[in-house]
Amino acid sequence: MTTTAPTTTPAAIDLDQLCINTIRTLSIDAVQQANSGHPGTPMAMAPVVYGLWQRWLRYDPRDPIWPNRDRFVLSIGHASMLLYSMLYLCGVRAVDPQYEQLGTAAVTLDDIKRFRQLDSKCPGHPEYRWTSGVETTTGPLGQGVATSVGMAIAGRWLAEHFNRPGSTLFDYDVYALCGDGDMMEGISNEAASLAGHLRLANLCWIYDYNRVTIEGHTDLAFGDDVAARFLAYGWNVTRVGDANDLDLLDRAFATFQRSTDRPTLIIVDSHIGYGAPHKQDTSAAHGEPLGEAEVRLAKRQYGWPEDAQFLVPDGVREHLQEGLGRRGHELREAWTAMFERYRAAYPALADDCSRIQRRQLPDGWDRNLPSFAPDAKGIAGRDASGQVLNVLAQNVPWLLGGSADLAPSTKTRLTFEGAGDFASGQYGGRNLHFGIREHAMAAILNGLSLAKVRPFGSGFLIFSDYSRPAIRLSALMELPVVYVFTHDSIGVGEDGPTHQPVEHLLSLRAIPGLITLRPADANEVVECWRTIMQFHHQPAALVLSRQPLPVLDRTTYASAAGVARGAYVLADAPGGQPEVLLLASGSEVALCVGAYDQLQREGIRARVVSMPSWELFDRQSREYRDGVLPPDVSARVAVEQASALGWERYAGTGGEIIGMHTFGASAPLKELQGKFGFTPERVVAAARAQLAKVR
Judge contact between 461 and 506, C-beta under 8 A: no
For this structure, is 127 an active site residue? Answer: no
Q: Which of 438, 524, 527, 640 is catalytic?
A: 438
Q: Give the CA distances from residue 312 to residues 18, 85, 232, 425, in Å, rounded to whole numbers and listed in that order.
A: 9, 10, 44, 46
Q: Would you list the DSSP string of 386-446?
A: HHHHHHHHHHSTTEEEEESS-HHHHT----STT--B-BTTBTT-SEEE--S-HHHHHHHHH
In angstroms, how far is CA 439 from the centroid of its own chain?
11
CB atoms within 10 A of CB 638: 28
Residues ≥6 apart with Cβ < 8 Å to 141: 75, 76, 77, 179, 181, 182, 184, 185, 188
Cα separation, 607 vs 580, in Å, equals: 6
Cα separation, 114 vs 206, in Å, equals: 29
Residues ≥6 apart with Cβ < 8 Å to 660: 490, 502, 641, 642, 643, 644, 676
Q: Crossing angle of helices 381-395/522-532, nearest 10°? A: 40
DSSP SS3 for 138: coil
- The torsion of the CA quartet 598, 603, 607, 610, rounded to 10 degrees, works out to 10
Cα separation, 97 vs 65, in Å, equals: 13
The burial class, CB within 10 Å (0-12 / 13-18 / 19+), for 69 is buried
Cα separation, 346 vs 645, in Å, equals: 54
Cα separation, 315 vs 527, in Å, equals: 58
- Amino acid identity of residue 694, one-letter, is V
Residues ≥6 apart with Cβ < 8 Å to 323: 6, 54, 55
Judge contact between 434 and 440, C-beta under 8 A: yes
Q: Give the CA distances from residue 121 to residues 77, 85, 493, in Å, rounded to whole numbers and listed in that order.
A: 14, 12, 50
Cα separation, 44 vs 606, in Å, equals: 68
Residues ≥6 apart with Cβ < 8 Å to 426: 420
Please name every residue paired with 265 in a beta bridge, in sequence order, or none if there are none: 205, 237
- The catalytic site residues sit at 438
